[in-house]
A and B are shown apart, each in its own frame.
Chain A
Amino acid sequence: MTTDTSGVGTAGDLDLVRRVADQLFATMTKVIEGKPDVVRTTITVLFAGGHLLIEDVPGVGKTMLAKTLARSIDASVRRVQFTPDLLPSDITGVSIFNQDARRFEFRPGAIFANVVVGDEINRASPKTQSALLESMEERQVTVDGTTYPLQAPFIVMATQNPIEMEGTYPLPEAQRDRFMARISMGYPSPRAELTMLDSHSARSPLDSLAAVTDAATINTVVEAVTTVHASPAVRQYIVDLVTRSRSTTALRLGASPRAGLHLLRAARAQAALGGRDHVIPDDVQTLAVAVLAHRLMPSSETQLARRTTAEVVTDLLRQVPVPSGTR
């Protein structure tokens, strides 16, 4: 099967997806040890053309993950350390009057890169945050009436610290919705930690990391992923899940339609990573927590019960029946 009349990605594209994914995975796990699931989700989000929010306590390797991914791709990488005094123009760029040319020149901000690593995004002022988030969604920047498109691929990997909340500006739900997925790193296993102490103490593993792919390849991959077949049953399943999240009493705010879209895109990438050209409910289930949990607002009962939205999503997955082919 070399060509497909239904306009679906070719077997060659799928192979490419697999190959690139395997290479990325092999490279990244050299640095991020003992966290294969996190690495895999990261790659999935990259392939699905989404943005990633990494949320965890300090020192577990959030930034390291982002930087590792950035290094593994031969593409432009920018890193922004968010602080309260960071300005929107630092992100988007600014027009400066050039004395010699006697005209305004646009100097691109930190956002003009293939991979943008935003550290501690909740430390910036809401104004700055929204500047970033708008460009994330629109994939373009408008400064002084001129629109500048961003390069593809474009992935923002923002980190956030949920513990030290003093003097921070937590992302509003509406803005969190822009991130395709949120992942937590979690502590490494004792064995992984030991290995890390052995290998990382001398020098940073990042130094020896070589890029295994480039921007053009990633673009092809992202394109290929969008052609993965999602049957009516699977789409129905996503709709069922999203709808149920809006009616359940455990949540104050359910998932948005964008959440459904993101879930489908992520599931497609997951299917492609698994070497399939069609999505199955397992893909959806695998990513549901990562894709949905950060967009939902728990009801007061859920908060009182100290349950997280991730647990609520897991419950939803248990309750919503997987639709069969005939319906």
Chain B
Amino acid sequence: MTRRRWRITLLAALATLAAVYPISSLFRSDAWLRDAVLVIALAAAVGLLLRGLTRSRLLTLFAQLVLVLYGVLALTVRETFTWGLPTAETVERLNVLGLQALETIQRNAAPAPLTEGVTVYLVGAVALIAVVVDAMAATWRAPAAAGLPLLTAYLITAANSDSTSAVRYFVVPVALWLVMLHTTARASFGRWSTTSATDVGEDGPASDDTTALRSLTAGAAKLGGIAVLLALVVPAVTWHAPPRYLTDGLARSTGSGGIGTVGINDTIDLRTSLLSTDPSPVLRYTSTGPATAPLRVFATSYYSSGEWRIARRQSEGPDRPVPLPPQADRREYIMTVSNNVLKAPRLAAPYPVVTPAIEGTSFTIDSVTRDIQVRETVDSYQVTYSVVNPSPDKLRSAGPPSSPDILEDDLTLPADAEDLIRRWSDEVTRGAANDYDRAVAIQAHLRDSTRYQYSLDLGETPQDENGEDLDPISAFYETRLGYCTQFATAMIMLARAQGIPARMAIGFIEGRREGSSNLVRQSDAHAWPELYFQGSGWLRFEPTVGRSGPPVYSLAGVDTPTSGATTDSGSTSNTATPTGSRRPVDEGDATGTATRTSWWEQWLSGSNLVILSALLVVALGTLLMPLTAWLTRNVRRHRAATRQDLVEIEWAALRSHLDDLGLVAPPGATLRTARERYITDGHLDADHATALRRVTATLERARYDRPERTTPQQTEELHRDIRSIRRQVSRTRAWTTRLRSFLWPTEGVSVWQGVWRRRSQALRRRR
């Protein structure tokens, strides 16, 4: 096999591809795969080229890393380059993308949306794996070790997908890995035939080879058999823990979800369908009130890169939920839920909840959104909720919004569509005198079926003049096509543009009446906006075209017929006293403490800084001895007066290095005896043995012959030879020895010992 190792490189690249391919099952799009293939090919090509150019393995690996990472950056964030080189802007961009990637994997169940951040970091990870596999398999010729990074790549998928991975995902990379092993092993066998370590038996070398091969084959077969047996038996008898997830990412499991629970994404991506057509039931309920109020699961104010996410708040917001509007404006009803399978910590309830009664688990109520979060999924529960119905006049005269539960995010517009939103909003609300009229105008505008069309299929995403996909809001403006998420988002943004605080609520519509109760299915998932009006709190609007049930207050002055308008059924009571852990919401202990700050700000806190500087000191301390050795050698070289001195310095350095590697020549050894010792113990091949002989010959001449006979050419050759010998001998040693000889070289250590000795002597003299 040539030094380039074509076959093994190709196999390594294929194995890497096969091992990372299953990752595509974790994401909704395969767009990353093209870039991944490119970087894997790049890693392989660069490896091939470098192995042909240089013998230094470390150099090969380093250059491979640099070039491939450059390739990744060039593929993904080329727009930040200046003169073809990464800039500070690149780092900033990577940071932004990193945050995006982190959020994506933390907020989404598999398959997750393929955001730009995820793509960049995924391709980066693939590049790293490709380089490591290539380095292990081809550069270091240890394909067995290459199995580890391949396994890592495979585990990314295995650990993060909810379901069992397809068998081929495992079989294909493993098969390629085995072929890699086979190729390398065959090459090694081929080399063995040149040396014979054992005595030749009576039947001659051929029969010996056959016997050895047979015993090796038998041994391998036995091992393989045991491995297969173990692979079958161990999974059969061991207990299976519920799947755990890397960094608690992708489809976080909170541990309580039994079979048949229904999860709801914490993230609503506007680009893809939130809505499932899955008819499996989520819960059943009966209510004392009119069955028109949707069941809210959570609300969020944070919109970023086309997604609604649950943002963690720091100190914003009140300590406890703000009081509800006065009794005159609302009625209270009781809803009893049964057969609930909504995955904890989520709980569905109409907004606003006055008193939840949940048995069997503890719960918290968010102080801002009034979301109820339970520790474990409960089958049934009861909530007392209000239906707020302020009069349009009151809403018209509501003052400027001001409440502790209005967050900064409630008025934030996405930067990439801000101009459009403001223009659009001003156009829609032209002529409206107050916030309420504006909100009503926006809802009416969006509900106008002549302008907007309800569709679960968003079609192709329109592109801007640069050929890039438009952000979801602009895209909605262009296509006028969407479902509840798009409509709700549009209304929120248009309202925010008018200074009305608005947020996104996600939950289920009222469901279908079946017998005495209502059945809510997974396909009933819905999203709607909540707008804040001073004095009335957060009010639900319904901008989705064709969706029934906009609240009465939102229809003032609009001639859209109301279907199933809220009517007071009379059972106004907060007298019902559900049993269990009943607790007024207003007293609920809110637990919204996590913060939304960039990860590195958190990370660069005091203790981490201390750790970081400690690590830096340790790193410097670790490199102290090698640096000292290197410096000493150079200073001595510089000071050498004659060629003889130079030759001696080189030799002393080599000897000390070989000493460190465990090749010790006895003190009384002459150059020739030392040389023979080094050649035997250092397993030097013919080339390097010749080099060592050249070195000792030069040295002998320098030491014992007349001084003028040492030529500069010889000195230079000696320098070269010594370097190659050092490398060669290092290669034959165990890596621990090499590491020790690198980190703790006698050359460097003796310098410090000398310093210490002189110091202690000086101290003693002073005393």
Residues in chain A within 8 A of chain B (CB atoms): 6, 229, 231, 233-234, 277-282, 285, 317-322, 324-326
Whether the Cβ atoms of B704 and A234 lie closer than 8 Å is yes
Whether A282 lies near B705 (C-beta < 8 A) is no
Q: Which of A234, A277, A318 is close to B668, meaning CB atoms less than 8 Å apart?
A: A318
Q: B700 at interface (Cβ–Cβ under 8 A)?
A: yes
Give, as a whole number of angstroms, the nearest-CB distance from A315 to chain B: 9
Tell me whether B672 and A231 are in contact (CB under 8 A). no
B662-692 vs A, CB cutoff 8 Å, 1 = contact: the mask equals 0000111111110000000000000000000
- Give 7 nearest A-B pairs by CB, closest first: A325-B703, A318-B668, A281-B670, A278-B705, A231-B704, A321-B667, A282-B670
Using CB atoms, name the residue of chain A closest to B706. A229
Contact A279 B704 (CB under 8 A): yes
B644 interface residue (CB < 8 Å to A): yes
Q: Are A233 and B672 in contact (CB under 8 A)?
A: no
Question: Are A321 and B648 in touch, CB under 8 angstroms?
Answer: no
In the bound complex, residues from chain A placing their C-beta under 8 Å from that of B669 are 322
A277 to B700, CA, bound (A): 12
Cβ of B507 to closest chain A Cβ, rounded Å: 87
A280: chain B residues at CB < 8 Å are 670-672, 700, 703-704
For the complex, give the distance between the alpha carbons of A324 and B699 in Å: 9
Contact A317 B672 (CB under 8 A): no
10 A-B pairs with CB atoms under 8 Å apart are A231-B705, A279-B704, A280-B670, A280-B704, A319-B668, A322-B668, A322-B670, A324-B648, A324-B703, A325-B644
The answer to whether B671 and A322 touch across the interface, beta carbons within 8 angstroms, is yes
Q: Which residues of A contact B411 (CB under 8 A)?
A: none
20 further A-B pairs in the complex, CB-CB below 8 A; given A280-B703, A282-B671: A231-B704, A233-B704, A277-B705, A278-B704, A279-B704, A280-B704, A281-B704, A285-B668, A318-B666, A318-B667, A319-B667, A321-B668, A322-B668, A322-B669, A322-B671, A324-B648, A325-B648, A325-B702, A326-B644, A326-B648
The residues in B between 425 and 445 inclusive whose CB is less than 8 angstroms from any CB of A are: none
B652, B667, B670, B699, most chain A CB atoms within 10 A: B670
Contacts of B702 in A (CB 8 A): 325
B721 located at the interface, meaning its Cβ lies under 8 Å from any Cβ of chain A in the complex = no
Does B409 touch A at the CB level, under 8 Å? no
Query: Complex: how many Å from CA A231 to CA B703?
Result: 7
B208 CB within 8 Å of chain A: no
Q: Output the nearest chain B residue to A6 by Cβ-Cβ distance.
A: B706
Cα A255 to Cα B672 in complex, Å, equals 26
Interface contact A326-B668, CB-CB below 8 Å: no
Q: Closest A residue to B696 by CB, please name it.
A: A280
B418 adjacent to chain A (CB < 8 Å)? no
Contacts of A282 in B (CB 8 A): 670-673
Q: Does B319 contact A (CB under 8 A)?
A: no
Interchain CA distance A282-B697 in the complex, whole Å: 13
Please give, as numbers and ranges, the residues of chain A lying within 8 Å of B670 by CB-CB distance: 280-282, 285, 322
Instruction: Verify if B329 is at the interface (C-beta below 8 Å from A).
Output: no
Residues of B within 8 Å of A281, CB to CB, are 670-671, 704
Is B645 an interface residue when CB atoms closer than 8 A count as contact? Answer: yes
Q: A-contacting residues of B (Cβ < 8 Å)?
A: 644-645, 647-648, 651-652, 666-673, 699-700, 702-706
Q: How far is the CB of B762 from chain A (nearest CB, A)?
A: 26
The residue on B at minimum CB distance from A285 is B670
Total cross-chain contacts (CB, 8 A):
59
- B667 close to A233 (CB less than 8 A): no
Whether B668 contacts A229 by the Cβ 8 Å rule is no
| Contact between A317 and B700, CB atoms less than 8 A apart | no
A271–B123 alpha-carbon span in the complex (Å):
68
Q: Which residue of A lies closest to B655 (CB)?
A: A324
- Tell me, rounded to whole Å, the shortest Cβ–Cβ distance linking B665 to chain A: 10
B699 nearest in chain A by CB position? A325
Tell me the complex Cα distance, A231–B705, Å: 6
Chain A residue with Cβ nearest B665: A322
A317–B667 CA distance with the chains assembled, in angstroms: 9
A54 CB, min distance to chain B CBs, angstroms: 27
Q: Is the CB of B705 within 8 A of A229?
A: yes
Q: Is A278 a contact partner of B667 (Cβ separation < 8 A)? A: no
> Which chain B residues lie closer than 8 Å to A317 at the CB level?
668
Nearest chain B CB to A73 CB, angstrom units = 31
Distance in angstroms between the alpha carbons of A319 and B700 in the assembled complex: 20
A319 to B669, CA, bound (A): 9
- In the complex, A28→B647 CA distance in Å? 41
Instruction: Specify the chain B residue showing the minimal Cβ separation from A229.
Output: B706
Residues of chain B contacted by A324 (CB below 8 angstroms): 648, 651-652, 703
Q: How far is the CA of A205 from the CA of B672 in the complex (A)?
A: 38
A17 to chain B, nearest CB (A): 17
With A280-B671, A317-B668, A321-B668 already in contact, the answer to whether A326 and B645 are too (CB < 8 A) is yes
| Residues of chain B lying within 8 A (CB to CB) of residue A318 | 666-668
Residue of A nearest to B642 (CB): A326
Closest-by-CB residue of A relative to B645 is A326
CB-CB under 8 A from B703, the residues of chain A are 231, 233, 280, 324-325
User: CA of A321 to CA of B648 in the docked complex: distance in angstroms?
Assistant: 15
In Å, the complex CA distance between A285 and B670 comes to: 8
In the bound assembly, the distance between CA atoms of A170 and B667 in angstroms comes to 37
Chain A residues in 8 Å Cβ range of B706: 6, 229, 231, 278
Closest to B700 in A: A280
CA distance A322 to B673 in the complex (A): 11
Residues from chain A with a CB closer than 8 A to the CB of B666 are: 318
Q: How far is the CA of A6 from the CA of B652 in the complex (A)?
A: 30
* Residue from A231, A285, A325 having most chain B Cβ neighbours under 10 A: A325
A234 to B702, CA, bound (A): 12
| Bound CA–CA A277/B705 (angstroms) | 8
A285 contact set on B, CB distance < 8 A? 668, 670
- Name A271's closest neighbour in chain B (CB-CB): B704
Q: What chain A residues lie within 8 Å of B671 (beta carbons)? A: 280-282, 322
Interface centre among B651, B668, B670 (most CB of A within 10 A): B668
Most-contacted residue by chain A among B669, B700, B703 (CB, 10 A): B703
B699 partner residues in chain A, CB cutoff 8 A:
325
**Which of A233, A278, A320 has most B Cβ within 10 Å?**
A278
Residues of chain A contacted by B652 (CB below 8 angstroms): 324
Most buried by B among A229, A233, A322: A322
Alpha-carbon distance A317/B706, docked complex (angstroms):
25
A279 to B648, CA, bound (A): 18
CA gap between A295 and B705 in the complex, in Å: 30
Bound complex: CA A278 to CA B704 (Å): 7
How far, in Å, is A241 (CB) from chain B's closest CB? 10
Cα distance, A278 to B673, chains bound together (Å): 18
Least CB distance, A288 to chain B, in whole angstroms:
10
Cβ of A279: which chain B residues have Cβ within 8 Å of it? 704
Question: Which residues of A have CB within 8 Å of B647?
Answer: 325
- A325 cross-chain contacts in B, Cβ below 8 A: 644, 647-648, 699, 702-704
- Min CB distance A223 to B, Å, is 20
Residue in A closest to B703 when the chains form the complex, CB atoms: A325
With both chains docked as a complex, state the minimum distance between the C-beta of B383 and any C-beta of chain A, in angstroms: 92
Tell me the bound Cα distance from A319 to B644 in angstroms. Answer: 25
How far is A88 from B667 in the complex, measured between Cα atoms in Å? 48
Give the shortest distance, in Å, between A191 (CB) and chain B (any CB): 22
Distance A319 CA – B645 CA, assembled complex (angstroms): 24
Residue of B whose beta carbon sits closest to that of A4:
B706
Chain A nearest CB from B667 CB (Å) reads 5
Most chain A beta-carbon neighbours within 10 Å: one of B645, B648, B699, B700: B700
Are the C-beta atoms of B704 and A320 separated by less than 8 Å? no
Q: What residues of A have a CB within 8 angstroms of the CB of B667 in the complex? A: 318-321
Residue among A281, A322, A326 with the highest chain B CB neighbour number at 10 A: A326
A234 partner residues in chain B, CB cutoff 8 A: 704
Nearest-CB distance from A175 to chain B (Å)? Answer: 30
Q: Chain A nearest CB: distance from B693 CB in Å?
A: 14
Residues of B within 8 A of A231 (CB): 703-706
For B668, what are the chain A residues with a Cβ–Cβ distance below 8 Å? 285, 317-322
CA distance in complex: A197, B648 (Å): 53
Bound: A81/B552 CA distance, A: 145
Separation of A325 and B703 alpha carbons in the complex (Å): 4
Chain B residues near A233 (CB-CB < 8 A): 703-704
A151 to B706, CA, bound (A): 34
